[in-house]
Amino acid sequence: MPILIVAIGALLFIGLLYAGRGFWAWVALAAACLLAWSAAGVEAWPSFIAVAVIAAAMALLFGVPPIRRLVVSKLILGLVGKALPSIGDTERIALEAGTVWWDGEMFSGDPDWRKLLDFRPQPLSESERAFLDGPVEEFCAMIDDWKIAQDRDLPPDAWEFLKEQRFFGLTIPEEYGGRGYSAIAHSAVVTKISSRSLAAAVIVMVPNSLGPGELLLHYGTDEQKKHYLPRLASGEDIPCFALTEPEAGSDAAATRSTGVVCRDTYEGKEVIGIRLNWEKRYITLAPVATVIGLSFRMLDPDGLLGGEEDLGITCALIPPGLPGIDIGRYHDPMGIPFPNGPIFGTDVFVPIDAVIGGKAGIGQGWRMLMESLAEGRAISLPSLSVGAVQLATRVIGAYGTVREQFNMPIGRFEGIEEPLARTAAGAYFMNAARILTCGAVDAGEKPAVLSAIVKAYLTENMRAIINDAMDVLAGAAICRGPRNIVGGAYVGIPIGITVEGANILTRTLIIYGQGAIRSHPFVRDEMEAVQSGDLARFDLAFFGHVNFVFRNAVRSLFLALTGGRVAAAPVQGPEARYYRLLTRFSAAFALVSDTALATLGGSLKRREKISGRMADALAWMYLGSAALKRFHDEGRPERDRALLQWSLDHALWQVQEALGGVIDNLPSRAASWILRPLVFPLGRAMRPPADDLGARVAAGLLEDGELRLHLTADIYVPPPGEPGLGRLEAALDKAMEALPVRDKLRRAVRDGTLAQAPEEALAEAAYAQGVIDEGERRVLKEWDEIRTDVIQVDVFEPETYRSLKG
């Protein structure tokens, strides 16, 4: 009987700790010991009394906040303060910039799926849809990517059209002459144009992303807004933003560009201004820019502004025609002909009011950049990646049917099924992530961590999928010319990977490095409390964190043992399993994250292989969540179920391998030994998508015209007479028309009516014997002609070949 009472008390103790009731947990254990004491014999009293006294002491020590703060938390605060690295101003500003959204749910260990499913991304408005169907389509029809590559620029009429239709003012409010469009509309424009021309997409997206327009909207003075924004919206001014330097690339805060406050003459008057010196490179639109956004460190050595000497990073707007500015030369980024080049400034003098935000903006440049970066990073390159992947999906879905070898479409070969499945599923979950992230931006979020995820992981998936498309198209993909559909996207891959934060940096430092502090429910509070010496705040955060770790350890083990079956799911049906499994891995992720933080402390910053794997786990949980959200929002169509299953099987496997890699490589072997049975008590059970599932996804892309159109609904499709995608689409239509006639020929061969022969001769024999009629014969002839044409590649005369550019 005493043992039973103690066992019940122990269960109550665990349950109350799990529920965050530490004081009552210790009280329950003490009470159980006292009850057991009363039920036990005299000889057992000392042990029960000892345990009860210890439990009562623990209840007072840890359960009564004033006592806990004085005795325990004060000691822990000192120890933690010595272990934690200090947070510099630039890092603090980066952490304070932006908001926490679904990434916080992933860090919680118990995501609120109803919150995600109830969230409604803003749809395109009527005017936004009309713009996509009108001017954007018209612009795409005006340009030819091959011609742009040879001319090294957009045609003049295309530039004028962009200005007339206010493409450079997509996000500038209507009151300043812009279009005032939503994030999802901005994204849709970039997605469609990028499926036509990477160079054109970059030219359109950069002025609407991080740059003068964005900074002016949020931080500019009224006078600056009234002057610049209408000119930017109309294209009268073409902006660039000069951030990157030879010595300050990924570490942009290490800028060597300086602006020294001094007196000089400007436009005939002596004024207090800034003498600037800089060397910038990789600046998109710089060679054609009429206004330069510049970041630099502002210094006031003579105290002319009455403050400190180092005023901090500052952003200003500089006319490119001032003395001392060297601008107009070009870089050549992988031969993709969008304007990009260096800018140099030597002793360039501008007045103080050139600073964005005026005097109030001095020293606020880093904050401006960090707060604005999340939105631009969430839209530009993710949208470009989705456009490229949708184009690849459209192309190889058609080519897999039209191109034949060994008397059957190449898409029927298992070796081709694999890249077809990866491509189709990638188009599905990548677009889901694009729409969800843009929806968050439109809802007022500045999702710094999630924007880094979609930038890095959508561009990485684009890299893999475009490589798959190149493999499927084979020789047709490597021969340059107007017929080559995906070659431009392939050449441009490194640009998407590198700009707006190189993916290596984004994965290893930003996503988890910032997410572990920003998105975690307790870590940021703990760090700030340590730095400020706030004992009460630290006590609350630290013991909340302790309970958080305990809860996730129990949940991780229990959910792993049950395969997540006991976790709540917001829907019924086959996909409910995936919600539960993501919940299981959210708990595991939170536990592994806290263990890594506890065992590595400040050195986790330098353990980039560990932080990179944690970023992988977080990113794939988000991509899986986005796919589930899309499936739900689109009415859970049976047509898309195989795509959803492939996406989630792949995402969960990636999460499992990432967390397993962290556990295997933690420097503390004791921590690994403890974590492994809590996270993977039955081993690593997740598997990548099965072969038969991939076959179903590939078959859907090849056979279901509606699915193929659904997956590629955001791209530009040229007219049927245009070489490349236009002719390929026409060939696919003709293939579908010829399919029943060709089936009729095959049946006639099988039943002996016709002898086996090449298809052209077989068609003539079938017509001669009345197996097919004249109309069917004509369909086969047209199919053979267009099929023969569409599989050709470009050839050039020697003189033309020697003049090719790019």
CB 376 within 8 A of CB 214: yes
The CA-atom distances, in angstroms, between 217 and each of 128, 131, 146, 462, 717 are: 20, 22, 36, 32, 34
CA distance 619 to 582: 12
Residue 401, token pair as written in the block: 């049917």
Residue 216, token pair as written in the block: 């002016």
CA atoms within 13 A on the CB side of 326: 12
CB 212 within 8 A of CB 293: yes
For 101-113, letters b (16+ CB in 10 Å) and e give bbbbbbbbbbbeb
CA distance 721 to 613: 48
What residue has token string 């890299």?
463
Q: What is the DSSP secondary-structure string of 19-38? A: TT-HHHHHHHHHHHHHHHHH
First-to-final CA distance of the chain: 86
Please pick, among 500, 575, 729, 759, the residue that the annotation labels catalytic. Answer: 500
Rg over alpha carbons for the chain, rounded to the nearest Å, is: 31
- Written in H, E and C, the secondary structure of 240-308 is EEECCCCCCCCCHHHCCCEEEEEEEEECCEEEEEEEEEEEEEEEECHHHCCEEEEEEEEECCCCCCCCC
| Closest listed residue to residue 385, CA positions, set 500, 510, 238 | 500
Q: Which residues contact 512 (CB under 8 A, 6 or more apart)?
A: 611, 612, 614, 615, 618
CA distance 610 to 665: 8
Q: Which own/partner pairs from 550-553 qualify as long-range (CB within 8 Å, at least 24 positions apart)?
A: 550/17, 550/18, 551/18, 551/20, 551/109, 552/109, 552/587, 552/588, 552/590, 552/591, 552/594, 553/591, 553/678
CA distance 655 to 312: 40
Helix then strand then coil, % of the chain, to nearest 5: 65, 10, 25
CB 377 within 8 A of CB 457: no
247 is catalytic: no
- What is the bridge-based pairing of β-strands 258-266 and 269-284? antiparallel
In DSSP terms, which residues pair with 298 in a beta bridge? 259, 312
Residue 473, token pair as written in the block: 């198209």
Q: Which residues contact 476 (CB under 8 A, 6 or more apart)?
A: 399, 483, 484, 791, 793
Residue type, 447: P
688 DSSP assignment? P
So which residues are the catalytic ones? Answer: 500
